């Protein structure tokens, strides 16, 4: 987050796709996810997608998204495939 904030080309309204398809182990606790979700550099209107094909990554992504929703950031969704994530971020009909 710090690196992006220092980048003069970063715009908080950007969309984001985070790909966790190659993740084989998650060394985070639920408390770690709570702490990560306390801050965001993205605007509340940004569309953000996490690609998480396995159940553990998917559930951590959902937890993060729900915690950000508590902070009024409604645009985070978790998907199983790149195609679904791209549709979720770039579709004009996608709810964010």
CA nearest to 16, candidates 70, 60, 75, 62 = 75
Average pLDDT across the chain, whole number: 92
pLDDT in the model for residue 4: 92
Residue 93 has a pLDDT of 62
pTM: 0.85
Q: pLDDT grade, residue 62 (50/70/90)?
A: very high
How far is the C-alpha of 79 from the C-alpha of 61, rounded, in Å? 9
Digit-coded pLDDT (tens) for 68-87: 999 999 999 999 999 999 99
């Amino acid at each position: 987050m710090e690196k992006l904030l220092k980048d003069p080309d970063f715009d908080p309204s950007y969309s984001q796709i985070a790909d966790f398809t190659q993740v084989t182990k998650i060394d985070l606790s639920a408390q770690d996810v709570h702490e990560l979700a306390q801050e965001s550099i993205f605007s509340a209107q940004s569309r953000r997608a996490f690609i998480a094909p396995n159940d553990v990554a998917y559930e951590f992504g959902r937890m993060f998204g729900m915690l950000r929703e508590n902070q009024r950031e409604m645009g985070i969704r978790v998907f199983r495939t790149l195609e679904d994530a791209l549709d979720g971020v770039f579709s004009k009909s996608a709810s964010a």
